[in-house]
Amino acid sequence: MSVDAATVRRIAHLARIAVTDDEVPHLQGELNAMLAFVEQLSEVDVDGIEPMTSVTPMQMKKRADVVNDGEIADQVTANAPATEQHFFVVPKVVE
């Protein structure tokens, strides 16, 4: 795949980058070099290789999935005007 001058100008326009006519040939060469590198990567045989997130094997640190009240119920309800057994007491609004 090769990038022409019109494509360079279009990419620059989409990226909102001001490109002068003198810069177009240099950018064209840079973009073509990048695309050539990507084409080289597609030639690599990756069959049977699992995707990885790091070059060193590691497990993510996980906390136990335990349901609890946070042990701060007194702090949560401390500023409430009325509470009862760690619940907010509100006036009845529905008959």
Are 48 and 60 within 8 A, CB to CB? no
Place of tokens 């590691």: 58
Per-residue pLDDT tens digits for 22-41: 999 999 999 999 999 999 98
Task: Give the H/E segment covering residue 36.
Answer: helix 24-41
Query: What pLDDT does 90 receive?
Result: 92
Are 19 and 8 within 8 A, CB to CB? yes
The pLDDT of 34-52, averaged and rounded, is 89
Q: Give how far Cα 61 sits from Cα of 45, 58, 64, Å.
A: 32, 9, 10
Query: What pLDDT does 86 receive?
Result: 86
Q: Give how far Cα 1 sits from Cα of 11, 13, 40, 56, Å.
A: 15, 20, 12, 35
